[in-house]
Amino acid sequence: MKKGTTAVVVGAQWGDEGKGKIVDVLSEKFSVVARYAGGHNAGHTVIIDGKRFVLQLVPSGVLRPGCQSVIGNGVVLDPIAFLNEVSSLRAAGVGIDGNLFVSNRAHVILPYHRMIELAAENAPGRVKIGTTSRGIGPSYEDKMGRRGLRVCDLFDLELLRKHIENACREKNMIAHALFNSEPLDPDKMYAEYAEASRKLAPFVSDTAAFLNRALGEGRSIMFEGAQGTMLDIDHGTYPFVTSSSATSGGAVIGTGVAPTSIDSVIAVTKAYCTRVGEGPFPTELFGAQADEIRARGNEFGAVTGRPRRCGWLDLPLLRYSGMINGTCWLVVTKLDVLDSLGEIPVCVGYRIEGKPTEEIPAEAGQWDKIECVYRTMPGWQSSTQGIIELKKLPQRAREYLAFVEHETGARIGMISTGPGREETILTDEFAGELQSSGDRKSCAQARH
């Protein structure tokens, strides 16, 4: 049976690596882009011909004519947020209808999920995770507790009303008892979501069946993650993580394709590091240098506007990320942000209580004990913005990239030198793989 090429695009750090732009650039080579995890807490910014698009739920592939987009079963869907995003994209002239599909098995975010999360995040004595308070975590909690509402359930209005009445009764009691929150009105909620279900219906289908048919027809599929590896619920810096599987393995669970269908994994990393919210960050910078990188990189959340914490590139973290994801290719973004620096420190190893360690700590307390071992690389101090050929990068910029490639064991396939779609370098080897048709050996060959 003929089979299409597949690739998973993941964040190699703590999210915000620029996956939206990368998926947009790569979508020219794929006929389907499928989002497999997270919710509308993930903001992807794409700039096309100077026009800025901020996508929260809809995969970046929707901006590419001829590319179909899928929101998989692993995503938690806020129907109101989805419809608002669709409306904005239609107003911008993006061809949505007939090109965007939502899984009938995706779980739904309802207003009581936001109420619970916001109240819990602000409760005295609770460990602050730094969530967006958009109901993502509580929706996944209900999913795992087998009390969630799925997209397919929205169309059974009797079931929808009963579910909302029962959930509001329970959630209002919990929120009032624990956080003294005001109760939600189930009648108002039912009316709003019954109307939303009508507008949502044309997008809903069995997307697992759609994706597997597409593979059988020889079509190519790119799987798009949300957040980053170090925010993965199992493999990240727990408890300062998201509520879903952000790593490459989540692509299988979150869309319904078989593990044997995945050909390669493309991990996106910044040329430095950032993190939003609370939690460990070994290479974090403070003061004027952090402010400079934040300003040059426009490091503010696409969805929330929150300033991102900034730090140097962390190679132990990238090696761990490569191991967990099975990274074949690295994409390095925001290289141009480092253009002005005379010296660029890079974390090459960790010590904990004076002892070198090759492993990433599991215990939250151990992260606080990490001492970073740095190697200082010479800066190039010339502009790389907009360069689209590898050979035209400054020699020291190429040496910086070669060092990252050597230390991580994954080939660098793309370099982003600016926010625009065209400000991108593709290496010859990577471009060649994108032209291939599902060569199973390509991933192993890409790794050192």
Q: Please tell me the distance from the alpha carbon of residue 125 to that of residue 25, in angstroms, as a whole number.
A: 45
Please report, as a single letter, which amino acid is at residue 22. Answer: I
Cα 215 to chain centroid distance, Å, stands at: 23
Judge whether 44 counts as a catalytic residue.
yes
Q: Please tell me the distance from the alpha carbon of residue 297 to that of residue 186, in angstroms, as a whole number.
A: 44
**CA dist list (Å): 396 to 43, 230, 376, 400, 437:** 32, 29, 12, 6, 35
- As given in the structure block, the two tokens for residue 347 are 């974390």
Catalytic, out of 40, 44, 107, 113: 44
Q: Where do the H-state alpha helices sit in 131-287?
A: 136-144, 157-179, 186-200, 207-216, 250-253
Residues contacting residue 98 through CB under 8 Å, at least 6 positions apart: none
Residues contacting residue 392 through CB under 8 Å, at least 6 positions apart: none
CB atoms within 10 A of CB 50: 7
Q: Please tell me the distance from the alpha carbon of residue 302 to that of residue 306, in angstroms, as a whole number.
A: 8
Residues contacting residue 365 through CB under 8 Å, at least 6 positions apart: none
| Separation of first and last alpha carbons in the chain | 31
Angle at 60 between CA 74 and CA 85, to 5 degrees: 80
233 and 225 in contact (C-beta within 8 Å)? no
CB atoms within 10 A of CB 199: 14
Return the CA Rg of the chain: 22
Q: Is the dihedral of CA 132, 135, 136, 142 positive or negative?
A: positive
Q: Which residues are paired to 75 by β-bridges?
A: 38
Residues contacting residue 155 through CB under 8 Å, at least 6 positions apart: 197, 201, 204
Catalytic, out of 16, 78, 314, 336: 16
Length of the chain: 448
Active site residues: 16, 44
